[in-house]
Amino acid sequence: MLKTMADQNGCKVVSTFRLGEGAQYITLKSDGLTCGPDGYATGKGRLRLERSDGARIAQSNDVWVVSGIPFTSPIAAARLAYVNDNGSLWFHLDSDPASRSHYLLRAERMSYGSGLDVWRYNRIDVVTENADVFRNAADIKVAVDGALRVLERTALPDAGNARIVFSDDFQQGAIGDQMEHLLYMITADRPTDWRTGKPRGEWRYNLQYAQNYLFKRDEMLARKKREELMRLANQERDHLRQYQNLVEQAKSDPKGILGRMQRDVHYDLLTGGDYRSLMAGRRAAVRMVVHVDDHKDNDAIADWPYEMRLPGQKAMKEGWYLVPGDITLDAKRQDDKGLPLTLLTLGQAAPVACQKEGCADLNDPLVGARMMLGLPDWTPEKAQAVIDQATQP
Amino acid sequence: MIKQKNGLIAGGVVVVLAAAWWGLGAYASGKAEDEIVALLDKTGQRDMVRWESISASPFGSAKLKQVTIGPAGAPVALIDTVKISGLRNTADRRSGDVTIEGAAMPNGYSVLSQTDLARQGGKLDLPPANLRVRWDYDRDDDDAEIHLNLEQPEALSAELSLNLERVNGAVAMAEDGSALAAMGMMGLMGMGRLDRTLAPLGELRIKTGSLSVKDDGHVKRSIELFKRYNLTATPGEGNPDKQRAKQFDKLVSDSKKRCYDQKSFSGFKDNDDACKAAANFASGDKRSITLTLNPRNGVSMAELLSNANNQAKAFALLAPALEN
The residues, ordered by sequence, that sit 6+ positions from A248 with a Cβ below 8 Å of its Cβ are none
Distance CA A80, CA A78 (A): 6
Contacting residues of A for B107, CB less than 8 Å apart: none
Q: What is the pLDDT of residues A183-199, one digit of tens each?
A: 999 999 999 998 988 99
Cβ(A78)–Cβ(A85) below 8 Å: no
Let me know whether A193 and A310 are in one domain.
no
In a mutational test of the B interface, the residue from A264, A286, A339 whose CB has the highest number of chain B CBs within 10 Å is: A339
Task: Say if residue A100 is in the same domain as residue A172.
Answer: yes
Report field, pTM of the whole predicted structure over 0.90: no
Within a 10 A sphere around the Cβ of B182, how many other Cβ atoms? 15
Please check whether residue A346 lies inside any domain of the structure: yes
Residue A381 lies in a domain: no
Nearest Cα neighbor of A89 from A41, A121, A126 is A121
Is A219 within a domain? no
Instruction: Look at residue A261 and tell me if it is in a domain.
Output: no
Same domain, A82 and A205: yes
Answer yes or no: do A62 and A81 share one domain: no
Residue B116 has its nearest CB partner, among A264, A272, A359, at: A272
| C-alpha distances out from residue A208 to A17, A139, A160, Å | 43, 15, 20
Q: Are residues A192 and A171 in the same domain?
A: yes
Q: What is the pLDDT of residues A275-323, one digit of tens each?
A: 999 999 999 999 999 999 999 999 999 999 999 999 999 999 999 999 9
Residue A142 lies in a domain: yes
**The predicted structure's pLDDT at residue B4:** 44
On chain A, the residues whose CB falls within 8 A of the CB of B118 are 279
Look at residue B229 in the predicted model and tell me its pLDDT.
92
Contact residues on chain B for A256, CB-CB shorter than 8 A: none
Q: Which residues of A touch B120 (CB under 8 A)?
A: 268, 271-273, 275-276, 279
Question: A196 and A92: one domain?
Answer: yes
Q: Is A288 part of any domain? A: yes
Whole-number pLDDT of residue B31: 52
Q: Are B98 and B132 contacting, i.e. CB atoms less than 8 angstroms apart? A: yes
User: Do residues A109 and A198 both lie within one domain?
Assistant: yes
Any residues with CB less than 8 A from the CB of A221 and at least 6 apart, and which? none
Residues A111 and A184 occupy one common structural domain = yes
Which residues of chain B from 232 to 261 reach within 8 Å of chain A, CB to CB? 232-236, 240-241
State which residues of chain B have pLDDT below 50.
Answer: 1-8, 10, 22-23, 26-30, 188, 190, 192
Element (H, E) at A304: strand A299-304
Please tell me which of the candidates B225, B228, B235 has its beta carbon nearest to residue A360.
B235
Compute CA distances B97 → B14, B17, B34, B88, B112, whole Å: 14, 10, 22, 10, 22
Residue B122's closest CA among B263, B8, B228? B228
Q: Does A272 touch chain B (CB under 8 A)?
A: yes
Q: Is residue A384 part of a domain?
A: no
What pLDDT does residue B74 have?
Answer: 84
Q: Examine the domain organization and report whether A201 and A296 are in the same domain.
A: no
User: Cβ contact (<8 Å) for B233 and A304?
Assistant: yes
A62/A88 same-domain check: no
A54 belongs to a structural domain: yes
Q: Are residues A25 and A48 in the same domain?
A: yes
Q: What is the pLDDT of residue B27?
A: 47
| CB-CB under 8 Å, B240 with A304 | yes
The number of domains in chain A is 3
The shortest C-alpha distance from B146 to chain A (Å) reads 27
pLDDT of res. B18: 54
Are A65 and A92 in the same domain? Answer: no
User: What is the structure's pLDDT at B294?
Assistant: 87
At A45 the pLDDT is: 95
- Our CA-based measurement puts residue B279 at a distance from the nearest CA of chain A, in whole angstroms, of 15
Nearest CB neighbour to B224, from listed A303, A337, A357: A337
Q: Which domain holds residue A104?
A: 77-209
CB of A258 within 8 A of CB of A362? yes
Partnered with residue B95 across adjacent β-strands are B88, B136
Each residue's pLDDT tens digit in chain A (393 positions)? 899 999 999 999 999 999 888 889 999 999 999 999 999 999 999 999 999 999 999 999 999 999 999 999 999 877 899 999 999 999 999 999 988 899 999 999 999 988 899 999 999 999 999 889 999 999 999 999 999 999 999 999 999 999 999 999 999 999 999 988 999 999 999 999 989 889 999 999 999 999 999 999 889 889 999 999 999 999 999 999 999 998 998 888 877 888 888 888 889 888 888 899 999 999 999 999 999 999 999 999 999 999 999 999 999 999 999 999 999 999 899 999 999 999 999 988 889 899 999 998 888 899 888 888 888 899 999 999 999 988 887
B129 residue type, one letter:
A
In which element (H, E) is residue B221 found?
helix B218-230
